[in-house]
C-alpha cells in the first residue's frame, strides 16, 4: 500500500527560537499561515489526485505544532477530523521540537487522532546544539522520544549534518544514540546557508564553512548506511526543492542539490557495485566485459548521473564494457554481477552484506 502525505505548511508558527540556520519563511515557500478554508482546500485538492487504496496522512510541517497556541491547534485538528471519520485519511502527522513534548500535550494529540510525531532533533551533540541556538540539550531529546514511544505514537527524527561545530565523528555519535531510541523513520538534511539567517553572517565573516556537495554526500552516505543496517527507514535526504529555495540568492552557500537524496543513493550503489565486482573477480577471475543486475527501480542509482557510476567502475577495474540490466522481482538495494552475456547473476551482493563489510563496528 502506497503511503502519501498531504503537507500543510504552518511556517515558523510556534518557534520560540530563531536558530542560526533557519529562515522558515523561505524554506516552506510561503509566508501565509493557512486558515480553516485553506486547509480544507489543500486536503481536497490532494485527495482528488491520490490513487484509491493509498494510505494517507495529513502532515503539518514548517513550524512547531505543539508550541502553537492551543486554540489554533484545535482549529486545525477539528478541521481535518472529518477526513479521519469518513476514512479518506488514516492518520495525522505533526512536527515539533523536542522541548515541545510532555504528557499533557501527548494526551491532547492522542485524542485528536495524531499518529506520527516528527522531532526536529538536528543533533545529539550538546556542543552542536548550543552553537546552532537550538535552545535545548540532548537530554531533552531522549526524554521526549521515550515519552512519545511510551504513548504509542510513531516517532520520526530529523537530523542535520554540517551544523556549526559539527563534524563526521559527532554525526556518527548522534546516529548511534538515535539508533538506541529506535525511531520509526529518519530524515537527513545537509545544512545550507540561507539568505537572511545568522548563519549567513557567520559565513560572510569566515566563521562558518559549509560542507561541499562531495563532503555532504559522503557524510550523509555514512549516516544513511548505518540506519539501513539497523533497519530504520530514511524517508528523505535533502530539503524539498521548492520554488523559494530555487530562487536566485536564497541559498547563499552549502551543498544544495534538487536531487540530493538520489545522489546519496547513487554513491551507495557505486561503492556496492565496486565491492561486488571485486568479489566476482576474486571468485571467477577477471573479465573485460561485465553485466550488473539490479531491480528496475534501481537502474538509475547504479548507473549514476550521465552514466558517472558506470564510467567510474569501467575505469576503476579496467573494463572494456559494463552494462546494467533490470530484473523484475530482483531484491531492492542488491547488485548482481555476471559476464556480459549472462542471463542471471553469478554473484549477488545485498545491501546488508555490503554494509557489514563497510561500516565500522559491524
Q: Do domains 3-258 and 271-358 have the same CATH topology?
A: no
CATH topology of domain 271-358: Hypothetical Protein Ychn; Chain: A, (3.40.1260)
CB atoms within 10 A of CB 104: 8
The pLDDT value given to residue 362: 40
Structural domain spans, the chain: 3-258, 271-358
CB atoms within 10 A of CB 200: 18
User: What 3-state DSSP class applies to 60?
Assistant: strand
By the 8 A CB rule, do 121 and 86 touch?
no
The pLDDT value given to residue 165: 97
Place of cell 547563499: 252
Each residue's pLDDT expressed in tens, for the chain with a length of 362 residues: 788 999 998 876 656 656 788 765 544 444 578 999 999 999 999 999 999 889 999 999 988 999 999 999 999 999 999 999 999 999 999 999 999 999 999 999 999 999 999 999 999 999 999 999 999 999 999 999 999 999 999 999 999 999 999 999 999 999 999 999 999 999 999 999 999 899 999 999 999 999 999 999 999 999 999 999 999 999 999 988 775 677 778 899 999 999 999 999 999 999 999 999 999 999 999 999 999 999 999 999 999 999 999 999 999 999 999 999 999 999 999 999 999 999 999 999 999 999 998 754 44
- Dihedral angle sign, alpha carbons of residues 210, 212, 213, 214: negative
Q: Write down the CATH superfamily of domain 3-258.
A: Aldolase class I (3.20.20.70)
Amino acid at each position: 500500500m502506497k503511503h502519501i502525505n498531504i503537507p500543510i505548511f504552518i511556517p515558523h508558527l510556534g518557534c520560540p527560537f530563531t536558530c542560526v540556520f533557519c529562515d522558515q519563511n523561505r524554506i516552506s515557500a510561503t509566508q501565509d499561515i493557512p486558515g480553516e478554508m485553506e486547509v480544507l482546500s489543500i486536503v481536497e485538492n490532494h485527495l482528488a489526485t491520490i490513487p484509491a487504496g493509498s494510505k494517507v496522512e495529513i502532515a503539518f510541517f514548517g513550524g512547531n505544532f505543539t508550541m502553537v497556541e492551543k486554540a489554533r491547534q484545535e482549529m486545525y485538528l477539528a478541521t481535518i477530523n472529518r477526513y479521519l471519520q469518513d476514512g479518506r485519511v488514516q492518520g495525522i502527522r505533526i512536527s515539533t521540537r523536542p522541548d515541545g513534548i510532555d504528557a499533557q500535550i501527548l494526551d491532547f494529540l492522542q485524542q485528536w487522532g495524531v499518529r506520527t510525531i516528527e522531532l526536529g532533533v538536528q543533533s545529539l551533540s550538546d556542543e552542536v546544539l548550543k552553537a546552532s541556538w537550538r535552545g535545548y540539550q540532548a537530554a531533552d531529546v531522549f526524554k521526549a522520544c521515550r515519552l512519545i514511544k511510551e504513548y504509542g505514537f510513531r516517532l520520526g527524527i530529523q537530523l542535520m549534518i554540517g551544523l556549526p561545530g559539527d563534524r563526521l565523528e559527532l554525526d556518527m555519535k548522534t546516529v548511534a544514540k538515535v539508533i538506541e531510541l529506535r525511531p520509526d523513520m529518519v530524515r537527513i538534511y545537509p545544512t545550507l546557508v540561507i539568505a537572511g539567517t545568522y548563519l549567513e553572517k557567520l559565513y560572510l565573516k569566515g566563521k562558518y564553512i559549509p560542507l561541499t556537495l562531495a563532503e555532504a554526500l559522503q557524510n550523509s552516505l555514512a549516516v544513511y548506511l548505518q540506519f539501513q543496517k539497523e533497519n530504520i527507514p530514511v524517508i528523505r535526504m535533502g530539503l524539498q526543492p521548492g520554488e523559494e529555495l530555487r530562487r536566485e540568492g536564497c541559498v547563499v552557500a552549502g551543498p544544495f542539490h534538487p536531487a540530493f537524496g538520489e545522489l546519496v543513493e547513487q554513491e551507495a550503489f557505486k561503492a556496492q557495485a565496486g565491492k561486488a565486482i571485486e568479489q566476482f573477480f576474486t571468485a571467477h577471475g577477471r573479465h573485460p566485459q561485465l553485466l550488473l543486475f539490479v531491480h528496475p527501480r534501481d537502474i538509475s542509482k547504479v548507473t549514476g548521473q550521465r552514466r558517472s557510476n558506470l564510467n567510474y567502475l569501467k575505469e576503476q577495474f579496467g573494463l572494456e564494457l559494463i552494462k546494467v540490466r533490470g530484473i523484475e522481482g530482483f531484491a531492492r538495494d542488491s547488485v548482481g554481477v555476471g559476464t556480459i552475456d549472462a542471463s542471471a547473476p553469478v554473484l549477488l551482493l545485498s545491501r546488508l552484506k555490503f554494509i557489514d563489510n563497510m561500516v565500522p563496528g559491524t
